[in-house]
C-alpha cells in the first residue's frame, strides 16, 4: 500500500481488487485518485486479470473528496480518475458499503457495474457546501436514472438507501455486508466476458424518454428551482442536468467543471465550508477520552410558544425529536400551535415539504399546560419574553420538575447564564442556545 495514496492493489481469482483505505470514511485525499488510476493501468496490462473491483476498506466505500482541499490547487483534474474507470477495457465493479457520497458516488457511476450492501447510503451532497459535483456526477446520474430523479437528488443533496438505489437503477444488486468482497469477485467473474461494456456516459434511453415526455422534466426542474431561491449551487446543478439532456457528455462535463470552479471560490461556498468544520469542532468535548460517545437528546421541551418558541419546536420536529410545547394559558398554547401549523403550511405551499411530511412532523409536537408534563425531557429550552424576573421564575420551576441531568437552555443572549444557573439547585447543565 502507498502511504501517500492510501490505495492498495491485489489480484484474487483473476480479478484485480483496488482498495481505497483512508480512515475513518475513505475521503479522497491528494494522491488517491492517482492510486486508483495506477491500479487500473496495472489491471489493464495484466492478461491474467479479467475484471476489476473497486472497494473501500472498513465500513465505507468513499465518503467524498477531502473538503479541506477545496479552494486549493489540485495536482490532477477531479474527473481524471472517473474517466479512467469509464475507459477501462475490462469491466469494473463498484462494491459499495456505508457512505457512497460525492466523489464516491461519482467514481461508482463511472464503473461499469455497481453492487451495494443494505447499509449503503448514496448521494451527491455537494450543494450542502455550496458547490456541485465535478467528476461527471451530474452527467452520469442523469443518463443512468433520468433527469427527474437525478435533479431532485443533486439539487437537494439527499442521500438514498441501497433499496431506493436499486429501485431507481443506480445499483444492480444488493449483497450481504459480510460477503461484499466475495460477492463482488463472483459478480466480476460473471460479467467478465460481457461486451460491450455498459458505460453510463454512453447511455441514451433516459434522455430519449425525457425528450418524449418534456412535461415531466419541466415539472421536476420547476420543483428543484422553487426550493433553492436564495442559493446558487442548486441552480447550477439544474443547469448541468439540463445540459445532459441537450448536449454531448463532453459538453456537459465542461459546463459542470466550469460552474464548479466558479462556485468553489464564492463567498457562499467558503461560508458553508466554514460552517461544516465549525459544526464538527463544536461536537468535540475538551478533555473527553477518545472512546467517549455522548448520547443524543431523545426528547425535548420548549417553555414559551411565541415566535421563537414555535420555531425551536419546529427544529426539533424536523429531526424527529418529540418535543412538548408549554404555555401558561390555553389561549397562548393554541396560538403557538397554530403558529407551528401555519409555518409548516407555508412550506407545503412553496413545495419544500409535502402534506404527508407536514402531518408526520406535527405528530412530534405535543402541547402541554403544566411544568410537571415536561419533567422527563432530556433537554428544555426557555423561550419566554426578555424579562429577567420572568426567566428566573421559569428556571426555578424547571429546577423543581426536571429530571437530574436534563440540559436547561435559554434562548436569550442578553441574560447572564450564571444568573440562570444560580436559581437551580439540582444537577443540571445550564447554557445559552441560539436557534
242 catalytically annotated? no
In angstroms, rounded to a whole number, what is the distance separating the alpha carbons of residues 148 and 210?
Answer: 9
218 catalytically annotated? no
Task: Give the active site residue among 34, 126, 256, 327.
Answer: 126
Task: Give the active site residue among 106, 242, 256, 327.
Answer: 106
Give catalytic residues, as residue numbers: 106, 126
Amino acid at each position: 500500500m502507498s502511504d501517500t495514496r492510501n490505495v492498495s492493489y491485489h489480484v484474487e481469482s483473476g480479478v484485480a481488487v483496488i482498495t481505497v483505505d483512508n480512515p475513518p470514511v475513505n475521503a479522497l485525499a491528494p494522491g488517491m485518485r492517482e492510486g486508483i488510476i495506477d491500479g487500473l493501468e496495472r489491471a489493464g496490462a495484466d492478461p491474467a486479470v479479467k475484471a476489476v473491483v473497486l472497494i473501500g476498506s472498513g465500513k465505507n466505500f468513499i465518503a467524498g473528496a477531502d473538503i479541506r482541499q477545496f479552494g486549493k490547487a489540485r495536482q490532477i483534474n477531479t474527473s481524471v480518475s472517473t474517466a479512467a474507470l469509464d475507459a477501462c477495457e475490462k469491466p469494473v465493479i463498484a462494491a459499495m458499503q456505508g457512505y457512497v457520497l460525492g466523489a464516491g458516488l461519482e467514481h461508482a457511476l463511472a464503473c461499469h457495474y455497481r453492487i451495494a450492501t443494505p447499509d449503503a447510503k448514496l448521494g451527491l451532497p455537494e450543494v450542502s457546501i455550496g458547490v456541485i459535483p465535478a467528476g461527471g456526477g451530474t452527467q452520469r446520474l442523469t443518463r443512468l436514472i433520468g433527469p427527474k430523479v437525478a435533479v431532485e437528488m443533486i439539487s437537494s443533496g439527499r442521500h438514498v438507501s441501497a433499496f431506493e438505489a436499486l429501485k431507481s437503477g443506480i445499483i444492480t444488486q444488493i449483497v450481504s455486508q459480510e460477503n461484499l468482497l466475495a460477492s463482488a469477485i463472483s459478480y466480476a467473474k460473471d460479467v467478465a466476458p460481457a461486451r460491450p461494456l455498459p458505460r453510463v456516459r454512453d447511455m441514451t434511453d433516459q434522455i430519449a424518454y425525457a425528450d418524449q415526455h418534456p412535461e415531466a422534466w419541466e415539472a421536476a426542474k420547476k420543483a428543484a428551482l422553487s426550493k433553492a431561491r436564495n442559493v446558487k449551487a442548486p441552480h447550477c446543478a439544474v443547469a448541468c442536468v439540463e445540459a445532459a439532456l441537450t448536449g454531448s457528455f463532453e459538453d456537459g462535463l465542461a459546463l459542470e467543471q466550469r460552474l464548479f470552479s466558479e462556485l468553489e471560490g464564492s463567498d457562499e461556498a467558503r461560508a458553508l465550508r466554514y460552517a461544516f468544520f465549525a459544526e464538527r469542532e463544536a461536537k468535540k468535548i475538551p478533555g473527553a477520552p477518545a472512546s467517549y460517545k455522548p448520547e443524543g437528546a431523545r426528547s425535548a421541551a420548549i417553555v414559551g410558544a411565541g415566535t421563537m418558541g414555535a420555531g425551536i419546536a419546529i427544529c426539533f420536529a424536523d429531526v424527529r425529536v418529540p418535543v412538548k410545547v408549554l404555555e401558561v394559558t390555553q389561549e397562548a398554547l393554541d396560538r403557538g400551535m397554530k403558529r407551528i401549523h401555519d409555518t409548516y403550511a407555508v412550506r407545503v405551499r412553496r413545495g419544500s415539504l409535502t402534506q404527508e411530511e407536514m402531518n408526520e412532523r406535527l405528530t412530534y409536537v405535543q402541547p402541554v399546560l403544566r411544568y410537571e408534563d415536561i419533567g422527563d425531557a432530556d433537554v428544555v429550552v426557555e423561550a419566554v419574553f426578555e424579562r429577567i424576573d420572568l426567566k428566573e421564575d421559569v428556571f426555578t420551576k424547571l429546577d423543581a420538575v426536571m429530571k437530574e441531568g436534563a440540559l436547561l437552555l435559554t434562548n436569550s443572549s442578553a441574560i447572564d447564564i450564571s444568573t440562570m444557573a444560580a436559581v437551580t439547585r439540582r444537577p443540571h447543565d445550564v447554557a445559552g442556545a441560539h436557534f
